[in-house]
Amino acid sequence: MENKSFNLTTDPWIKVIEAGSNQEKKVSLIELFENAQDYRQLAGDMRSQDLAILRLLLAILTTVYLRVDATDHPYSWLDNPVEDDDEFDDGDDNSERDLLTTWQDLQQAGHFSSAVTQYLKDHTDDFNFFGDRPFYQVTATDYDALVPKNKQIAAGKGQVLVKQLNRRVSESANTPSIFAPKTGEAKSKLALDELVRWVITYQNYAGVTDKTKIETDEKFSNPAGWVYRLNPVFAKGNSLFKTLMLNLVLVNDWQDDVVYAAPKPVWEFKSVQAYIAHRKAQILPDNLPELYTAWSRILHIEWGTSGVRIFSAGVPMYGSENALIEPMTTWRFDKKTTEYRPAVKGLRSLGIAMWRNFGQYVNVRRADDVHEPGIVVWLRRLKHEKLIAADAPLILDNVALISDGNATSQSPAAEVADDMQLQTDVLFDQEDRWPVRIEEAITVTQTVGTDYYHFASDIGQIRNLDVRTFAGGMSAKFYDRLNEPFKEWLAGLSSDDDRDTKISQWKQQLERIVIATVDDVMQASSPRDIAGIAGKKGPLNIFTAKNHLMYNVRTHLDLKKGVTKTDGKSN
């Protein structure tokens, strides 16, 4: 394998969907950036993999366009616009305006400038999957220098299997993955381009089953991959170019007192040793390219005629508390520590659709304990600067790889993908009328959901079943029935709508959905359901349970309430 060559800049490895043919195609980095406008989307092996690669692509774009404008000229306020030596001139206050102009010029051009291709050509050695500094890996010499002597390659310890690196399989040597998309020996076989994609993915989504770590003065626990610890949210466009542009954050508006920080992706560190020394300090990155390319492991691949051996050692990771530079996550406020933590999804929240947590994505009432995702703040800035149309549809995408919850493994248990589409003017209604009304509509919807849960509990009680399990299952099916209609309602809102009319329309539709769902239950009823049992407040059967439900639903929907209008629009 000494003469093996695979360079990410020129060899095809990224899966995309062509907009014209709707066919899948594999492209190199240079081909992708030169033709991003012709591709519909990334099309990798799983959605989480696409997100990991999207962040890599954004790291490249952010690095380039924090140094040069859309005409490939260096910014005047950078004294030395050269990597590793960027200097910011504090006396020039035009930097923010210049960066926004760069974004606008790229958007209007409809494609990326030649500076991206030139950057990749200048860094071609850094993107070689083999060679003296293999991409997202370390050499045998560096690996042995960084781990304890008894964990060095010659000892054969600290290996991660190919089938474990593949997050669709995630199979260790001890526990077989029963429902994997591959079986037998096929689990351990990957084409070279697929291996590249999984190496990038693993750095973002590593679990904690491996025990080998680099040598440090202070003990640390092997961390999970950075993106694995988030509840990722990003914007989605109708082409790969537009998706990249919407997520190309050049100005940080969501943190106080933020100044320009030189971009420094992992490959621009002088050496692997320099990067690991930096990581040992566990300092949160002050620039997005470094954050987007963060390693969770040092990986060394030994190539042989019978296959590969992959050695892995954990690297200390900075904490996620108050890591607000991260734009692609929702946050929860910890009242005990007064810190913000990523609102990570777990198995218990697996079925909760994105719209039900609307308040995590938009700070509806400007509460002090709510921190909007940075990407939402960035999109609001683009709308404020009139860089995206007021009536343009905005899609917020959510892709989460959810762990098994086991602290000693954190193996992937499920992948969840969801989205939420709103018109720009609706999401960022300046007077905050639509976001407030949307939140109210969600609250009343979830109140009706609670009413239905109680109905399901009554049915479970009548049938002498485990009430919590039965009601939970019925409730989940009810929300599954709600998800698409509510998302369609959201996507159909506009700033010109009469808000009370639109809210009333949703309530009426919600009532119809409840009635249809209950009718399905009634049609499947048994003699026991009809006969019922003695309840705390009298006979309890399927008819009394239904009457109680419908009374609560009509009370909570309050459909007979009159509408009030101000200046021709509802409040």
- pLDDT tens profile 85-128: 555 544 446 789 999 999 999 999 999 999 999 999 999 999 99
Dist. CA 555–CA 544, nearest whole Å: 17
Any bridge partners for residue 308, and if so which? 303
Burial code of 472-498, b = ≥16 C-beta within 10 A, e = fewer? bebbeebbeebeeebbebbbebebebe
113 CB-near residues (< 8 Å, 6+ apart):
68, 70, 71, 72, 106
Helix (H, G, I), strand (E, B) or coil at 298: strand
Helix (H, G, I), strand (E, B) or coil at 421: strand
Give the position of tokens 């639509």. Answer: 434
Whether the CB-CB separation of 571 and 436 falls below 8 Å is answered with no
Tokens of 441: 């509509």
Dist. CA 234–CA 310, nearest whole Å: 32
Whether the CB-CB separation of 315 and 276 falls below 8 Å is answered with yes
Helix (H, G, I), strand (E, B) or coil at 261: coil
Residue 364 DSSP symbol = T
Tokens of 23: 């066919």
H or E segment at 314? strand 307-314
Give the position of tokens 């033709």. Answer: 35
Helix (H, G, I), strand (E, B) or coil at 481: helix
Would you give the distance in Å from CA 243 to the centre of its chain?
13
Mean pLDDT of 507-533: 96
In the predicted structure, residue 380 carries a pLDDT above the cut 80:
yes
Which domains can be identified in the chain, with CATH numbers?
14-314 (no CATH), 433-571 (1.10.132.100)
Q: Please choose, from the candidates 352, 362, 52, the residue with its C-alpha nearest in 3D space to the C-alpha of residue 198.
A: 52
Query: Exposed, middle or buried by CB within 10 Å (0-12, 13-18, 19+), for 412?
Result: buried
In the predicted structure, residue 569 carries a pLDDT above the cut 50:
no
Q: What is the per-residue pLDDT across 132-159, written as a single tens digit (0 to 9) for each?
A: 999 999 999 999 999 999 999 999 888 8
> Average model confidence (pLDDT) for the chain?
90
> What pTM did the predictor assign?
0.92
278, 282, 286, 287 alpha-carbon torsion, rounded to 10°: 70
Alpha carbon separation from 276 to 210, 218, 280, 293 (Å, rounded): 18, 14, 6, 13
**How many degrees, rounded to 5, is the angle at CA 230 between CA 18 and CA 129?**
55
Dist. CA 17–CA 21, nearest whole Å: 8
Dist. CA 47–CA 15, nearest whole Å: 12
Q: What is the per-residue pLDDT across 154-164, written as a single tens digit (0 to 9) for each?
A: 998 888 888 77
State the pLDDT at residue 162.
82
Dist. CA 461–CA 544, nearest whole Å: 13
Mean pLDDT of 266-280: 97
Strand pairing report for 331-334 and 24-27: unpaired
Dist. CA 397–CA 379, nearest whole Å: 13
In the predicted structure, residue 176 carries a pLDDT above the cut 70:
no
State the pLDDT at residue 168.
63
State the pLDDT at residue 568.
38
98 CB-near residues (< 8 Å, 6+ apart):
69, 75, 76, 77
